[in-house]
Each structure stands twice: as C-alpha cells, then as structure tokens.
A and B are shown apart, each in its own frame.
Chain A
Amino acid sequence: MSVQYTPVIWNRNKIFYDAVLLIAVALYLYIYIRVAPGYEDVTKPIDGAILRMRAFGSCAFLMLTVILCIGPLARLDRRFLPLLYNRRHFGVMTAGIAAVHANYVLTWYYNFSPTDKYVALLSSNTNYGQVLGFPFETLGIAALLILFVLAATSHDFWLSFLGAPIWKALHMFIYAAYACVVLHVALGALQGAGDPIFTSVVAASVVLVSGLHFATGRMEARRDRGEETAKASLQEKGWLVAGELDEIDDDCAKVVTLSDDERVAIFKYDGKLSAITNACAHQNGPLGEGKVLWGCITCPWHGYQYNLSDGRAPAPFTEKISTYKLKLIGSTILLDPNALPPGTHVDPVEIGEAA
C-alpha cells in the first residue's frame, strides 16, 4: 500500500451519501418528536427528554437494521452496491446517535441520584436472574461499547494494521451488538405498556435481518453448487482447470503446460481473458512473457505481434498462431486443451463481476 493516510477521504459521492443520511436522520428525529406524542396515552404524557431518548434510541436501532441489511442486499442485487460503498460513515453516525440516546438516559434518570450517575446506572438494578425487570440497560451498554469500538476502528489504518482476518473478526461483532440491542429493547421498552407500532417495527427488523441473511446464504450455496457441477461437466469433456483468476496480473499471462512441446498462454487484459499458444510463429519465442498492448501481444524476442482474440498478426503481416477456448466458472479458469487452427477467432471471456 503506497497511499498516504488522511483523516477522512471525502469525495463528491460520499458527501452526497452523508448528506442524504444526515437529512434522513434529522427528518426521522423531527417527525418522531413531533408525531409520537399524538399516539401517547393522554393520561401518562411523557416528558420531552424521555421522548428524545426514545427518538434517538429507535433511530439508532433502525440504522443498525439498515446497516445489517445492506450487505446481503448488495449480494442479492448489485443495484444496492452504492449503499455498501460508504457504510463506514453510516456506522460511525449510528454509534453517535446511540451515544446521544444513552446520554439522555444518564442525564434524565440518574442525574439527581446521590451517587455518581455511572455507578447508579450499573447498580440500580442487578436482577440478572429474571426476565421481567431484567437490567436491560446492561445490554444497551454492551451494544454501545461494541459500536464505539467498531466506529473507532473504521479508519483504513486499522484494516491494514490489524490485518484483514483480525479486522473482519472484530467487525463481525456488529451482529453481537444487534442481538444485544434487540434484547435491550425486548426486555426493556417492550415489557412496559406495549406500544404496538414499536413492537412490530422491532419484529419486522429481526425478520428482515435474519431473512435476508438466510436468503443470501442459500443463494450463495446454490451458486457454489452450480459452479461445481458446471466445472465437473466441463472437466468430463476434457477441459482442464488452468488456474484461478487472481493468479494472473493485468496485461500478463499464465502459461499452462499441456505436453513437452505444447504450452498455452492465458492472458488477462482489458477485463477479458484469451488463450493462445505460448510459441511465437517466428522462432518459438515465449509469448506468455510478453506484455499486452491494445489487445495485442508483442513477442519478447523479436517483437512479432498478434491479436489475442484470433492469433493473427495485425495487417500487413500474415503470421497466424493457434488459439484456445476458455471458460470462466466463478473465479476458476478452464481451458479446452484442443488447439484451434491458427488464426481462429475466439471471443475473449469477459471477466465481469468475478474480477
């Protein structure tokens, strides 16, 4: 990695994303604080601070729900990919909103307690053995701590410094945070007077998050199975597994040896794959060691050139070399080992999404 770190990388798309997000959050909070009192039990009007505490709490919960849905949605349908793009700012904002919620709780319920308000929060209810009246605040604290850690480690630096495996494992804790929040709400707010709207919102969130993850899991398992059978049937017809897509650098080749005097060079260039014989028509120079330019390979020995799609030297030259058929299944490249007559056109394989 040669990029230099900056505090936040913003570009036009990200600013737009963040602006939409901020407006949506502000709108939600405004509407909640304005509209929710209309549905309140008039005999028990709730105070402004409690209302705001609930507005921020439910906002953070909904944001967490959306964050967890973006991943599977983007895998189910690529049109959701733009949402995935700037999920990081989404996460940091969620942690902030949740912190405001917790701060309302602290200042409202515990500000006037004789002890330190943090001590009061932790010690006012320790009935961990029961469901009804369970100290659900603790679950909120656990969720908030996780959100803080994830927000604090969202900078690119952390991915590089911790290494992808540790960073990913750490950020999987988002699911633990979600579970804590669901329990925090189920054992807390939903145990009370029973607000049917909020109860159904929480239920819908749980169904949506688990349903989407289940659906993508099934889809990916089915696709993997499909790829396995496609690979197996091609191999039955004599095709060879030539390697994985990421083994080949852009504009370079991987050379596959079929027999002592038959080698095939598989090129990756312009988002496509083509295979030609490794032997130059001039003096058998190693074409696979050449570089691709404008869809043409130049022999490293004396500079003969060939179009990769048909193995023909560009006009006015007339040399021709053999081409081969390729298929890409998932990220695995398969090669038909039967050489085509020199100069035969083969449509390059588009790499597309797998790249």
Chain B
Amino acid sequence: MQSAALLLELGRWYLMAGGVVAAAFLVFGIDRVEPSARGSYAFRPLLIPGICLIWPLVLYRWFTLEKHGEDAR
C-alpha cells in the first residue's frame, strides 16, 4: 500500500519533470539540434508524450548533439 503510493508519486514526478524538459526542448532545443525540424511546428506536440516518457535520454542526446554536432548522429 505504502510503496504503491510512493511508486505512483515517483511516476507522477517523473512525468512532470518530463513536461518541463518537453517545454524546454520544443521551444529552444529542437531547432538547434534537429535541422529538419526548423520551420515545422505542427508535429511538435506529437513529441510531448515521448519526451515525457524518455526525457533523460532526450537530455542526453540534446547535450551530445550540442557538443559534437552532426558527428554524434
């Protein structure tokens, strides 16, 4: 009971953190690291669920792409 509630609470925090990352990435990051996304806006909301679910991976790729550019792809 206790641990179930804790688990759900953790999940909720995880998804909320994902929401913050999604906002930051879609507003600032995506144009910097994904040239094909420049000028396309309609598809961006589609990425929100994915970013919320795997935001640590998104942050990791965001930073590697910032640092190493296209070589990291």
- Interface residues, chain A, CB within 8 Å of chain B? 1-7, 115-116, 118-119, 122-123, 145, 148-149, 152-153, 155, 157-158, 160-163, 166, 170
Contacts and interface: CB of A to CB of B under 8 A. Distances in A.
Interface of B: 1, 3-5, 7-8, 33-37, 39-40, 42-43, 46-47, 49-50, 53-54, 57-58, 61, 65, 72-73
A148 B53 contact: yes
Contacts of A7: 42-43, 46
A4 B1 contact: no
A122 B40 contact: no
Contacts of B7: 122
Contacts of A162: 57, 61
A294 B49 CA distance: 49
A163 B36 CA distance: 14
A-B pairs, 8 with minimum CB distance = A152-B50, A122-B4, A123-B4, A152-B49, A5-B40, A7-B43, A123-B1, A153-B50
B61 A157 contact: no
Contact of B50 (A2, A6, A116, A149): A149
B48 to A, nearest CB: 9
Contacts of A118: 8
A5 B8 contact: no
Nearest to B37: A5
Contact of A155 (B43, B58, B65): B43
Contact of B47 (A6, A145, A155): A155
8 contacts: A5-B36, A5-B37, A5-B40, A115-B1, A122-B4, A149-B50, A157-B47, A166-B61
A119 B61 contact: no
Given A6-B40, A152-B53, A163 B72 contact: yes
A354 to B, nearest CB: 25
